[in-house]
Every structure is written in C-alpha cells, then in structure tokens.
Homo-oligomer: A and B are copies of this chain.
Amino acid sequence: MRPLDELQSLIANSVAELKFPEYPAELYEPIQYILALGGKRMRPALLLMACDLFGGDVNEAMPPALAIEVFHNFTLMHDDIMDNAPKRRGKTTVHEKWNSNVAILSGDVMLIEGYKLMMQVREDILRTVLDIFNDTAVGVCEGQQLDMTFETNIDISIEEYINMIRLKTAVVLGGALKIGALIGNADMKDADLLSEFGINLGVAFQLQDDILDVYGDPEKFGKQVGGDIISNKKTYLLIKALELVEGADAQELDQWVTYKDFDPTEKVAAVTKIYNKANIRHYAETEMHAYADKAFAALDKLNLPEENKQYLRDFADGLLVREY
C-alpha cells in the first residue's frame, strides 16, 4: 500500500495540472485560485487509498479523486459567501477578492466540472459512481443548511447535531472511500463497509475537534483554546451542557452565551468550569469512542488481507489522537 502522504502529493500535483478554459476569465480564474490555496487534499487521497487497498490502479482513480477535490472546493467557495468569511487558508476568499456574484457562478461551474471529472470512470460502474456522488453532494448541502439553521436555533438535540456533522463533513469521506473501492474492483458489500468506516470515523473526528477546542494542547494543535466557546459555536459540548446543566450553573451558562461584551479568557475559563463540573468531556469522549468503535467494527468486517486492514487502522489512529 502506498503511504498516505504519497497519495496526497499525487493529488497535489494533479490538482496543479488541472486545466480550465481562459474565457470568461471571471468564471474560471476563481476556480484556479481556490484550488491553488492548497490544503491537505485528504478527501481525494482517501479515494485513491481505497482504490489502492483493493489492488486497483490509482491512476484510474485520479479523475474521480479530482472530482471530489473540485466538489469540496465548490462547497468552500459557496460556504465562504454564506459565512461572510474574509479569509480561507490565510488568503482572501473568492467573494472578497472578486465579488459574491462571481463566487456564486464560479462555484456553480465547479460543481459541473466535478461531475465531468467524476464521469471519467469505467462504463460498468458509471451509474453507481454517479449515484454515490449525487447522494454525497446532496448530503453535504443538507448538512450546510442544517448548520446555518442551527446557528440561530437555541434548541438543538445531540441527535440533530450529530446528524448535521455526519452530513456536512462525514458523508463525503464515506463517498470518496466507496467510489475508490469500486474503482479498485471491490464488491458492493466491501464498498459499503468502507463507506461506513469513513462516515463513522468522520463523525468521531468532528467530535474530537469539538473536544480539542476546549481540552487540546494549543501548542500541539495550533488552535486558540476555547475559540468555539468564545463564538458560542454549537458544538457537542455546548449542546450537551445546555441539556444537562441545571440551577445556578445553567443560569450562568445562559448568561455567558448571551453576553455581548466579555473578557474572552474569563468566558473560556468560566464555561470550561461548568463543562468540567457536569462531566461534559466524559460524555463527549464516550460519544466519540462509540463512533470510532463503529468505524473499527466496519473495518474488521472488510474482506481484505490483515495487512491492508492494519493500514486503515493506523490511518484512523493517526486521525484520532488518543492523548491530548
């Protein structure tokens, strides 16, 4: 099996070689621009990895892998308009550098270009691959819509939250793995198991992200501690705390969430104290481990040599750091 970083470099090189028309410039330059911003190219690399794991040819899997990356960047371009984000990977976002109209229309073309790339598969799996891509794409849009709805909605359940992160971030991992597996000639049962692995791993990873925001070592993870707390982001931790905490602590939590003017350090310390008292970290880790366990259970059932399964286990272990 090829190491993941090798697959990521393969993708990076192929993304750099992607050609789009030059005219109209306002339509295609933003596509080249956002694709050149970089990123870990994890989603397309997973597609190649799945193909490789089943003994397929990663070159055959390259156009669909690029489809996943182009699709992902389409969602980023449109999400950035919706979130009013000024920066993406430290660079000006497309709607800021050009304007919203350009970002809407360039994004639309990227989605179509994604289909064009995804269609570059063998005849016998064309319909199946496109069905998976359709479901994945709809899922991501549903997840983004739920994420926006939840922002202005106080009363969200843990179930709704997990469904949202599953749609917004996990289904695309499942879709990429499933398509890669099919290109590598896996049967549908294995492709489904690998998809299940990816989706559950994705949910676990997102829950870990929520936990790390509060409990991660900032030097290790390079993120400001408590960023989610400061911005009142509806994470697993906040939703669980709003559900569980009672009495004076509940009042205090409500106040911190409502305050417009506050000292960020003070808010992070106070909310973390409430989380600690209610054992929120424990609940979050339990949920995260439950999803990780589901991912590993699906992996175990795969009809693959033990060595290939170990590769996947190592990959998952690399994503889910057990010590913070």
Contact = CB atoms under 8 A, between A and B. Distances in A.
A126 B119 CA distance: 10
A161 interface: no
A51 B14 CA distance: 40
Contacts of A115: 115, 130, 134
Contact of A27 (B82, B113, B142): B142
Given A141-B27, A145-B24, A123 B127 contact: yes
Given A112-B137, A115-B115, A104 B101 contact: no
Main secondary structure of the interface of A (DSSP, over half): helix
Chain A interface category by residue count: 35 or more
A82 B105 CA distance: 9
A177 to B, nearest CB: 20
B104 A116 contact: no
Task: Indicate how many identical chains form the complex.
Answer: 2
Contacts of A105: 78, 82, 141, 144-145, 148
B27 A145 contact: yes
A112 B130 contact: no
A81 interface: yes
A13 interface: no
A146 interface: yes
Contact of A109 (B108, B127, B138): B138
A312 to B, nearest CB: 29
Interface in A240-282: none
A78 B26 CA distance: 16
A120 to B, nearest CB: 10
A220 to B, nearest CB: 35
A49 interface: no
A101 B148 contact: yes
Contacts of A148: 26, 101, 105
A41 to B, nearest CB: 22
Nearest to A148: B101
A149 interface: yes
Contacts of A181: none
A24 B101 CA distance: 25
Most B-side CB within 10 Å, residue of A130, A141, A142: A141
A82 to B, nearest CB: 4
Contacts of A27: 141-142, 145
Contacts of A81: 100-101, 104
A182 interface: no
Given A24-B142, A101-B148, A115-B115, 12 more contacts: A78-B105, A108-B111, A109-B138, A111-B112, A112-B137, A112-B141, A115-B134, A116-B134, A119-B131, A126-B126, A126-B127, A130-B130
27 contacts: A24-B142, A24-B145, A24-B146, A26-B148, A78-B105, A78-B108, A82-B104, A82-B105, A100-B100, A101-B148, A102-B145, A105-B145, A105-B148, A108-B108, A108-B111, A109-B138, A109-B141, A111-B111, A112-B134, A112-B138, A112-B141, A116-B134, A119-B127, A119-B131, A119-B134, A123-B127, A126-B127
